[in-house]
Amino acid sequence: MANNHLTSESKQLATWYFTFAAILFGAQLLFGLVAAIQYVMPGFLYEILDFSIARILHINALVVWMVFAMFGSVYWLLPDETGIETIGIKIGKLIYWVFVAAIVVVVLVYLLVQVGPADATTIWFITEGREYIEAPRWADWGIVVVALTFVANLFLTGIKGKQTGIVTVLMADMIAFAGLYLAGMFFTDNISVDQYWWWWVIHLWVEATWEVFVGAIAAYGLITMIGAHRKVVEMWLWIEVAMLFGSGILGLGHHYFWIGTPEYWWEIGALFSALEPLPLVAMFVHVLYDWGKTQGGEEARGSSASVIKNKPAFTWFVLNAFGNFLGAGIWGFFHTLPQVNLYTHGSQFTSAHGHLAFFGAYATILIGMMYIAVQGTNGIKIMKHTKASIWGVSMVTGGVVGMTVALTIAGYVQVLVSRAQMGATWAAYFDGQSGSWFTQAMDWRLILGAVTFSGFLLLAKDLLTTGKSPVHER
Amino acid sequence: MANKSVWSDNRFWQRSATWVTGFASVLLIWLTFDTSVQIAMGNDEDLKNGVTKRVPGPTVINYKITYEMDAKRGHEVPVIGEKENFFGRDDWSEEEAGALLHLGKLGSQAKNCMDCHTLLGNGAYYAPDLTKAWLDPAWGPNGAMQALTAKETKEEAMAEFLQHPDRYPTHARMMPDLGITAKEAKGLVAFLKHMSSIDTNGFPRNFGHMQGAINGK
């Protein structure tokens, strides 16, 4: 970017990460639309780009854009928190291009090769065929190298510079995040063992380390956007870490109800995963309370000015507080008890929860970080909403919430008809899928998916253009 | 600082977070050791001696498997019964059966099965769950699939379907041709039969009972 206000190389690298993340976000929505169309018109792209391939791209793009935006967020906040330039930033920049190139190759192979023969070369070079982490084994090792470089950047900088509470939490969290990936890098004939370790990656990412990451980012956002007091914010952050890891680590048990693992996981999984919404309430309170407190302090001094230095980013952060609690907390709790999960496991209920949780807990706050980067890059003192930013946030949020409602209804039909009434066979499955409530729900999901995608286009336009808009105070 | 409360002390919360995380992690690791032993795959000796394993050995393909209500546990469990032919034989050796299962498990990943289906309930929701697919009455002697594929046995019908799914549509939503060879199909069917013998704590509930097709041994 020409004439930008960034003097830190770490922040420059952050903007690269955010840019590629936004592109992958678009790809995620596009392939999601393909899959949604296939539910309504099963012949669409049949044997050209089948549902399985569209879905791999939908969920892999999701995971990877979030990882990109998370790396970007860390590179962005490191100079602010530590007071120094990120150490080893040149290698960080080089690794970025390696990461991007690897992803482009993986995606092209998914699209053009799709499947392979049942042997190890397929696992190494085409697909590992394990949901969310389908990336072939060569790419796994690439990801390990990339993650190690990132963690090294973070640790060296954190040790040399000022080590704030936020940086300390991020250091502990990111090493666990990177290390857990190793649990998903082996092959076994025993599918129960396979899924046991597979959940170590998936669950301990999204229901433990990623949530702690969000806590740290929310803390950073509150300090930089509304000037919340660091002492208060970091105390909350430590309480959140205790609650998130205290519930989330053993909450892993709710994935071990039906995969061949022993019955004691019923009790452990039920208890700890039922506690998982609590820290999300804490995070919600944290954001809104600090906002009210800071604004109240301003008003006590006789000023009516808003304390928010970045309106669009703060909007996304507040949506994160709501969305995390609703999508991950409430929609997760719906079906986390084994008595319920026996019927809901692997149904559209799961899908409804997945959509609102990934959006509410992660997409929101990471988009917020992108706005913070736009503000910093353009040297804006107080960043305001534009028409596109308001329409973008409204349409994306409305679309995802609408899809969640539609999928919840579809899940309800599936659970009652296919599972409880008909007994879960092949015929039972299609009886449930053919009911009019199910098919109508899928129509609505497609319509609201299109709304989400249109909202994304406005959001992307805003992120690209708002920096030069005259509405902001510079 | 003497009258400052510990509850507003960041160091106190930092230590609490560390202890809570450490305790949860240690408990998880301890449980992992126990679970790993319980879900380790059994062997041919176990099957011959009637030792029940949560995940039986690959030679389970030589036996008839049913899914029956266990009064004590309050849900259905897989029951391994008498010998039964699998592709014309009931004497698959441990090596042969193991190789078949290995091929099938690799195939299930190489063809991205779980990006349409669910296995043990995990995966995508575009196609039926495969956890107990082997026990689905649709593939049995009174089901539609043997007649549709013009095959005499469940395993041959399944293998035929897997090789040419586009020839045997069961719904507008059709499985695509994934280039599955005859050999791979055999492996995949062995993988499915083995998966149906895993003790999944009663998931899925009431499987196939609505048609009354699981008749026991």
pLDDT at position B53: 97
CA B104, CA A119: separation in Å to the nearest integer? 10
Nearest-angstrom CA–CA distance, A472 and A209: 35
Of the candidates A131, A345, A430, the beta carbon closest to that of B115 is on A131
Question: Which helix (H) or strand (E) segment is B63 a member of?
Answer: strand B63-70
**d(CA B179, nearest CA chain A) in Å:** 8
Please tell me the CATH code under which domain B41-211 is placed. Answer: 1.10.760
Which of B73, B108, B122 to mutate against chain A (most A CBs within 10 Å)? B122
User: Can you give the pLDDT at residue B134?
Assistant: 97
Among B9, B68, B115, B210, pick the best mutation site for testing chain A contact (most A Cβ within 10 A).
Answer: B115
Residues B92-107 have a mean pLDDT of 98
Is the preceding peptide bond at A277 cis, omega within 30 degrees of 0?
Answer: no
Token pair, residue A471, equals 């509405």
Interface membership of B34 toward A (CB under 8 Å): yes
Give me the residue spans of the domains in chain A.
Answer: 1-162
Per the CB < 8 A criterion, the answer to whether A249 and B24 are in contact is yes
**What is the distance between the alpha carbons of residues A298 and B112, in angstroms, rounded to a whole number?**
56
Nearest to B114 among A129, A260, A434 (CB): A129
| Nearest beta carbon to residue B119 from set A50, A191, A350 | A191
| AA letter at A202 | I
CA distance B88 to chain A (A): 23
Task: Write down how long chain A is.
Answer: 474
Residue A372: partners with Cβ closer than 8 Å, 6 or more residues away: A76, A221, A224, A225, A310, A313
Interface check A261 vs B, CB under 8 A? yes
Contacts of B138 in chain A (CB under 8 A): 425-427
CB burial of residue A150 (10 Å; 0-12, 13-18, 19+): buried
Q: How many CA atoms lie within 13 A of B108 on its CB side?
A: 29
Establish if B198 touches chain A: CB-CB under 8 angstroms.
Answer: yes
Which member of B121, B124, B174 has the closest CB to residue A345? Answer: B121
Residue A474 burial (CB count, 10 A): 10
pLDDT given for residue B217 in this prediction: 30
Domain spans, chain B: 8-38, 41-211
Q: Quick one: pLDDT at residue B211?
A: 53
Gap between the Cα atoms of B105 and A119, Å rounded: 10
Contact status of B140 with chain A (Cβ, < 8 Å): no
- Inter-chain residue contact A127 with B110, CB threshold 8 Å: yes
Query: B113 at the A interface (CB within 8 A)?
Result: yes
| Pairing verdict, β B75-83 and B63-70 | antiparallel
> What is the pLDDT at residue B210?
59
- Which pLDDT value is given to residue B142? 87
Shortest distance, CA B36 to any CA of chain A (angstroms): 7
Q: Do A189 and B201 touch (CB under 8 A)?
A: no
pLDDT at B214 > cutoff 70? no
The b-or-e profile of B88-126 (16+ CB within 10 A means b, else e) is eeeebeeeebbbbbbbbbbbbbbbbbbbbbbbbbbbbbb
pLDDT confidence of residue B2:
61
Q: Which residue has the tokens 């770490």?
A: A10
- Out of A42, A123, A195, name the one closest to residue B174 (CB): A42
Contact B173 A189 (CB under 8 A): no
* Tens digit of each residue's pLDDT (9 = 90 or more) over B23-52: 999 999 999 999 999 999 999 999 999 999
Query: pLDDT (tens digit, 0 to 9) for every residue of chain A, 474 residues total?
Result: 445 789 999 999 999 999 999 999 999 999 999 999 999 999 999 999 999 999 999 999 999 999 999 999 999 999 999 999 999 999 999 999 999 999 999 999 999 999 999 999 999 999 999 999 999 999 999 999 999 999 999 999 999 999 999 999 999 999 999 999 999 999 999 999 999 999 999 999 999 999 999 999 999 999 999 999 999 999 999 999 999 999 999 999 999 999 999 999 999 999 999 999 999 999 998 899 999 999 999 999 999 899 999 999 999 999 999 999 999 999 999 999 999 999 999 999 999 999 999 999 999 999 999 999 999 999 999 999 999 999 999 999 999 999 999 999 999 999 999 999 998 999 999 999 999 999 999 999 999 999 999 999 999 999 999 999 999 999
Report yes or no: B118 at the A interface, CB cutoff 8 Å: yes
- Residue A3 confidence (pLDDT): 55
**B132 chain-A contacts, CB cut-off 8 A:** 424
For B:72-101, CB contacts with A below 8 A are 98, 101
Distance from CA of A361 to the nearest CA of B (A): 21
Which among B31, B41, B171 is the nearest to A190, CB-wise? Answer: B41
CB B175 within 8 A of CB B115: no
